[in-house]
Amino acid sequence: MPGRIDARLRELAITLPDAPAPAANYVPFVRSGATVYVSGQISRDANGLVLGRLGADLDVAAGAAAARTCALALIAQARAACGGDLDRIVRVVKLTGFVNSAPGFVDQPKVVNGASDVMVAVFGEAGRHARSAVGVAALPLGVAVEIEAIFEVA
Amino acid sequence: MPGRIDARLRELAITLPDAPAPAANYVPFVRSGATVYVSGQISRDANGLVLGRLGADLDVAAGAAAARTCALALIAQARAACGGDLDRIVRVVKLTGFVNSAPGFVDQPKVVNGASDVMVAVFGEAGRHARSAVGVAALPLGVAVEIEAIFEVA
Amino acid sequence: MPGRIDARLRELAITLPDAPAPAANYVPFVRSGATVYVSGQISRDANGLVLGRLGADLDVAAGAAAARTCALALIAQARAACGGDLDRIVRVVKLTGFVNSAPGFVDQPKVVNGASDVMVAVFGEAGRHARSAVGVAALPLGVAVEIEAIFEVA
């Protein structure tokens, strides 16, 4: 029985990425009570990692596309945290977006909007979240964007 | 009927800023159970955004003043999250302060103290919070400080 | 009566550092419900602060050792939050690792593994946590690593 959010993903022609576990002593998500903390997801699309610095190697549109890939990975991890049933997501509570930024780049919010927009497209009002967006000097493997999330689950 | 914290704000001659909603697919705060997550608030005073990098454009005192404006915006959002009644704030749980830092600037804690101090001035013991302070390469719109918060509410 | 985790610390020959309170208007930890938020702990060993930037002053191994000292300080604070009884830690929920990074340094995950590894060594499966690792331009006092944590406690 396909769920409501699964149906919405199909309407949006979104295929979630795999939700692999990290090869280290941490895990992709931890549930504590009704709260699921999802580890920082780095920008990655069908061609591999999305690398580079905003304001130097990537423009805002490319950064927003990179942020969207992080959001899809976060949703994939949230689905795993819910035993495959995305309808158990009560709320996207919080996103923290780290944007690999060259000096002088100040459009971090427009970049992270790429993630915020897909959350609302997929979850509707329940996708509206608190958020911080900051620029950082360097990210793992040189990726453009890393985003972590907190979800409330039923 | 003015509340206890409202009275304290008057004693301190503090007028909270407005608590506007962002013009994007995120919201200024989300409540999940007894926890309110407030989105990152950027430094802004009566003259507009407080811009610049610590260690280059701003000194520690100016940075602490900028951090104070973030804290006031966080309190304003927390008030909105409590339907206007700040007495429902049980605890300021956590602040995360991002300080726009030139290379070599290492006084992020003194900057974020500007926010911590006003939390304790306003909320007393309930204002004492866990905290992280880090230096970042760039912040939205070029602001000096961005701070996010977690509150526990009744 | 020594606890299970205390015994494990002895097996590992780990002596936790002191858990001092900051000299400012914030506190080392706040408990809210079953959740303990521990303030960002900076890298510090028996010789004092561990200073420097990864990719410039410190290599990955030295960075991982620095991250391990942050983790031990986090555990020390968690112990204080539990009234001295580490067996009350239900889960290490989340670590956020900030790595002082020179431009081009992209091995933040390997650095933060120094913290993740000790969490699992000490707490076993309960030590597996969600995590983010990012590179930042500057950290308090010039330290190499700062890590904050969320624990679930009984």
Cβ neighbours of A73 in C, within 8 Å = none
Q: Which of residues 93-152 of B touch A (CB under 8 A)?
A: 96, 98, 136-142, 146, 148
Query: Token pair for residue B4?
Result: 């206890």
Interface test with B, best of C25, C57, C70, C74 (most B CBs within 10 A): C25
Give percent of chain A with pLDDT exceeding 70: 99
CB C33 within 8 A of CB C81: no
The answer to whether residue A117 scores a pLDDT higher than 70 is yes
Kindly state whether residue A65 falls inside one of the protein's structural domains.
yes
Give, for B20, the enclosing helix (H) or strand (E). none
Domain membership flag for residue C142: no
Decide: B18 and B64 in contact? Cβ < 8 Å.
Answer: no
Asked, for residue C41, whether it belongs to a domain, the answer is: yes
Q: How far apart are CA B43 and CA B53, in angstroms?
A: 12
Whether the Cβ atoms of residue B43 and residue B146 lie closer than 8 Å to each other: yes
Within a domain: B113: no
Report how far residue C9's alpha carbon sits from residue C15's, in angstroms, rounded to the nearest whole number. 7
Mean pLDDT of B123-144: 97
Q: Answer yes or no: is B131 within a domain.
A: yes
Instruction: Tell me whether C34 touches chain B (CB under 8 Å).
Output: no
Query: 3-state DSSP call for residue A25?
Result: coil
Handedness of CA A99, A102, A107, A111 (dihedral sign): negative
What's the pLDDT at C76? 97
The span from the CA of B144 to the CA of B66, in Å, is 7
- Boundaries of domain holding B95: 4-17+27-105+125-136+147-153
Mutate to test the interface with C, among B31, B89, B106 (most CBs of C within 10 A): B106
B136 to chain A: nearest residue by CA? A136
Q: How confident is the model at residue A3 (pLDDT cuts 50, 70, 90)?
A: very high
Instruction: State the greatest distance between any 2 C-alpha atoms of chain B, in Å, as a whole number.
Output: 50
- What does the alpha-carbon distance between residue B16 and residue B14 come to, in Å, rounded to a whole number? 6
pLDDT, one tens digit per residue, over B73-106 is 999 999 999 999 999 999 999 999 999 999 899 9
**Contact (CB<8Å) B30/A94:** yes
Q: Within a domain: residue B74?
A: yes
- Does the residue A98 lie in any domain? yes
Q: For residue C87, give how far its alpha carbon lies from the nearest alpha carbon of chain B (Å).
A: 22
Is the per-residue pLDDT at A22 higher than 90?
A: no
Contact C24/B105, CB-based, under 8 Å?
no
Sign of CA dihedral C89, C94, C98, C103: positive
CA distance C67 to C59: 12
Rounded to whole angstroms, the Cα distance separating B120 from B59 reads 23
Which chain A residues have a beta carbon less than 8 Å from that of C109? 24, 140-141
Mean pLDDT, rounded, of chain C: 96
In chain C, which residues have their Cβ closer than 8 Å to the Cβ of B107? Answer: 140
For residue C113, list chain A residues with Cβ-Cβ distance below 8 A.
Answer: 24-25
DSSP assignment of C74-119: HHHHHHHHTTT-GGGEEEEEEEEEEEEB-TT---HHHHHHHHHHHH
C32 and B134: CB-CB below 8 Å? no
SS3 C50: coil
Residues of C in contact with B129 (CB under 8 A): 26-27, 30
Query: Quick one: CA dihedral C23, C26, C29, C30, positive or negative?
Result: positive
Q: Is residue B10 part of a domain?
A: yes
Asked if A130 and B28 come within 8 Å (Cβ–Cβ), the reply is yes
Structure tokens at C28: 């080392």
Strand ranges of the sheet holding A145-153, from the earlier edge strand across to the other edge: A29-32, A35-42, A145-153, A89-100, A130-136
ipTM over 0.90: yes
CATH code of residue A98: 3.30.1330.40
CA B62 to chain A, closest CA, distance in angstroms equals: 20
Residue pLDDT, tens place only, C58-80:
999 999 999 999 999 999 999 99
Q: What is the domain count for chain A?
A: 1
Tokens standing for C126?
A: 């309960």
SS3 state at C127: helix
User: How far apart are alpha carbons A12 and A8 in whole angstroms?
Assistant: 6
Q: Are B37 and A103 within 8 A, CB to CB?
A: no
**What residues of C are in contact with residue A132 (Cβ under 8 Å)?**
none
The span from the CA of C59 to the CA of C99, in Å, is 12
